């Protein structure tokens, strides 16, 4: 019987790791620092992909003792992910709340406070994300606490540049064990940074590509998320930037 080639085995390993990382932290907002008007509703649907650079733990059996141990192995994964949905509701002139369905696998909420508006916008947007991850009779409960600072530059009323530095803290119950690997869920403190561009084609529709990178403070592991958000509904207003007639 012909043995599988090393290239095929590597490809299958990437698919396995990718399937286990579907519940990875997803901090992309596909929005600007500005909040939705009080009593109004806005929506966002995003097409996304993710990447991961880190290591997995191979399960290795010691032939002399028969005991199973783990051995680290470097991996690099980039793959499309399931789409995400977000709903935002305006509470006050500078406060709104968001509800998220991340990659159809996890839930999240956030509360955005936007005290500064103009050519330069500023907001704080604390939130959380929870998911339950399971594979091969093992599971993990994971909670991510996001603390971003959103900075926006609006050169014109139809275009914004959004930079979002911040931190994320992960709380995980354990590891997920595959058929021959152990994938550690990213927990602890992570530094994060996002860059996005919003193109508003009308008062009720915008396109927003965004990329976020997250790095663990301790140990290995770099996660990055890239996606394109399609925003519609009662989007935040930028009429204050329009030139007077």
Euclidean distance between CA atoms 236 and 135, whole angstroms? 41
Mean pLDDT of 10-16: 40
- Please compute Rg for the chain using Cα positions: 21
Total number of residues shown for the chain: 245
- What is the average pLDDT value for the chain, to the nearest integer? 82
Q: Where is 97: in which H helix or E strand?
A: strand 95-102
Whether pLDDT at 57 is above 50: yes
CATH homologous superfamily, domain 37-241: Autotransporter beta-domain (2.40.128.130)
Euclidean distance between CA atoms 59 and 165, whole angstroms? 37
DSSP 156: E
Check residue 200 and give its pLDDT. 97
DSSP 38: B
Check residue 137 and give its pLDDT. 64
Output the pTM of the full model. 0.79
* 163-212 confidence digits (pLDDT tens): 999 999 888 775 554 444 434 455 678 899 999 999 999 999 999 999 99
In degrees rounded to 5, what are phi and psi of residue 180?
Answer: -145, 20
Rounded alpha-carbon distances, angstroms, from residue 161 to 2, 158, 194, 197: 54, 11, 11, 5
* 224-237 confidence digits (pLDDT tens): 899 999 999 999 99
Q: Break the chain into its structural domains and give their ranges.
A: 37-241
Q: Which residue has the higher pLDDT, 12 or 75?
A: 75
Neighbours of 78 (CB within 10 A): 13
* 72-95 confidence digits (pLDDT tens): 777 788 889 899 999 999 999 999
């Amino acid at each position: 019987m012909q043995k599988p080639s090393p290239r095929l085995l590597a490809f299958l390993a990437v698919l396995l790791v990718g399937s286990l990382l579907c519940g990875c932290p997803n901090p992309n907002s596909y929005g600007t620092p500005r909040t939705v008007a009080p009593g109004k509703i806005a929506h966002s649907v995003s097409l996304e992909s993710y990447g991961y650079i880190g290591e997995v733990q191979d399960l290795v059996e010691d032939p002399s003792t028969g005991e199973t141990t783990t051995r680290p192995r470097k991996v690099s994964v980039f793959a499309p992910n399931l789409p995400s949905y977000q709903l935002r509701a305006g509470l006050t002139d500078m406060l709104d709340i968001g509800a998220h369905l991340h990659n159809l696998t996890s839930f999240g909420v956030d509360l955005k406070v936007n005290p500064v508006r103009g050519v330069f916008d500023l907001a704080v947007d604390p939130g959380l994300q929870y998911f339950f991850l399971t594979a091969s009779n093992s599971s993990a409960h994971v909670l991510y606490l996001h603390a971003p600072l959103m900075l926006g530059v609006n050169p014109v009323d139809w275009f914004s540049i959004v930079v979002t530095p911040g931190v994320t803290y992960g709380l995980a119950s354990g590891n997920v064990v595959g058929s021959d690997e152990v994938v550690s869920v990213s927990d602890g403190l992570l530094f994060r940074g996002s860059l996005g561009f919003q193109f508003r084609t009308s008062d009720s529709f915008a396109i927003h590509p965004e990329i976020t990178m997250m790095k663990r403070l301790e140990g290995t592991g770099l996660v990055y998320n890239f996606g394109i958000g399609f925003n519609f509904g009662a989007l935040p207003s930028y009429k204050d930037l329009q030139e007077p007639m």
